[in-house]
Amino acid sequence: MQDVNIWSEEFGAATDAPILLIMGSMSQGILWPDEFVARLVTGGRRVIRYDHRDTGLSDTVDFAARPYTWHDIKNDVYRVLDAHGLDSAHLVGHSAGGLLGQYLAVERPDRVRSLTVIGSSPLGGAEGQVLMRALLGQPQPEGSLPEPTPEFVAFYRTLISAPPPDNRADRIDAMIAEQRVLHGTGLPFDEDAARELQERIHDRARDLSAVANHRLAGAADPDFEPVGVLHQVKAPTLVVEGSHEPAKPGHGALIADRIPGARLLTVAGMGHTLPPEVHEELATAVLAHTAG
């Protein structure tokens, strides 16, 4: 499905080394914090961020009439690179964005100068199935990825059983509650900053409910992820995980173990979000990894 318009923006000089920021499932590109982006630009990088289809200012889709899969979401990454005139770039992916980055590094190594994966799971690890079994209280088969934290599981069990909020104030309160859980317990949670961010996300979305199509896209192609291919990644790889990661604890070490030469960075206090306290460390690490 190539006729979906994808919103993107870039910062920095066109002559600087390009970094493409890939956010996670159901997430707008502005979840890459402005302050973090500014640090990368000041460090001499051309930085691009974008909204996935069905998020933010990108097109929304009538999924029943025009279904798509995660292969389409993956291929949108190539479309963003093409639209900015880039044969290749340094890829920095968060959560499911890190999964997409891994996939591209295997599928099109010529387009990936380096790979940075933040708060993600290993490609082929069936993280979604692990989460679903955890939510249903089912045992995990031997060799499965580590489960999310009990607090994470309890929150999402309640979320999926509750009726969706039907007004702006309640929707934003629910979004803040989710951000609090994803933030983890390692750093203080700034509720005022969270409200400002979630109001921005809410009000810039063409259709806030359209993000649910990402789940439908996953169900439409449960075998999206190739298994046992991470050893094929040739791009220099940096894997970042927070010490208080609630959604994918310990998954970063598994990625680093499966990609030859990959380096693992554990950020003290960080959960599954990118709060101001970690911007300097993250930006310094990314700048070093994308140098040369």
**CA separation, residue 98 to residues 46, 186, 207 (Å):** 19, 22, 25
Which range is least confidently modeled, 8-12, 130-134, 144-148, 263-267? 130-134
- With a cut of 80, say whether residue 1 has pLDDT above it: no
Q: In the predicted model, what is the mean pLDDT of residues 148-154?
A: 95
- With a cut of 90, say whether residue 101 has pLDDT above it: yes
Q: In the predicted model, what is the mean pLDDT of residues 125-132?
A: 89
pLDDT band at 262, cuts 50/70/90?
Answer: very high
Which among 42, 33, 38, 23 is positioned nearest to 190, based on CA atoms?
33
- With a cut of 90, say whether residue 242 has pLDDT above it: yes
Find the DSSP H helices in the chain: 34-42, 70-83, 96-107, 127-136, 150-161, 168-183, 191-204, 213-220, 251-258, 279-289
| Contact (Cβ atoms closer than 8 angstroms) between residue 235 and residue 113 | yes
Task: Classify strands 8-11 and 89-94 as parallel, antiparallel or unpaired.
Answer: unpaired
pLDDT at 41: 98
| Geometric angle at alpha carbon 123, from 232 and 113, rounded to 5° | 50
Structure tokens at 189: 């949670």
pLDDT band at 21, cuts 50/70/90?
Answer: very high
pLDDT at 136: 87
Q: In the predicted model, what is the mean pLDDT of residues 90-115?
A: 98
| Contact (Cβ atoms closer than 8 angstroms) between residue 279 and residue 36 | yes
CATH level 2 (architecture), domain 8-128+205-289? 3-Layer(aba) Sandwich (3.40)
pLDDT at 3: 83
- pLDDT tens-digit readout, 41-64: 999 999 999 999 999 999 999 999
Average pLDDT over the chain reads 96
- With a cut of 90, say whether residue 86 has pLDDT above it: yes
| Contact (Cβ atoms closer than 8 angstroms) between residue 113 and residue 89 | yes
pLDDT at 164: 87
pLDDT at 132: 87
Which range is least confidently modeled, 119-123, 157-161, 166-170, 179-183? 157-161
pLDDT at 161: 84
pLDDT band at 238, cuts 50/70/90?
Answer: very high
> What are the sequence ranges of the domains in the chain?
8-128+205-289
| CA 29/CA 50 separation, integer angstroms | 5
What's the full length of the chain, in residues?
292
Q: Higher-confidence residue: 2 or 101?
A: 101
- With a cut of 60, say whether residue 97 has pLDDT above it: yes
pLDDT at 276: 98
pLDDT band at 2, cuts 50/70/90?
Answer: low
pLDDT band at 281, cuts 50/70/90?
Answer: very high
pLDDT band at 18, cuts 50/70/90?
Answer: very high
Which range is least confidently modeled, 80-89, 131-140, 176-185, 267-276? 131-140
pLDDT at 271: 98
Find the DSSP H helices in 63-126: 70-83, 96-107
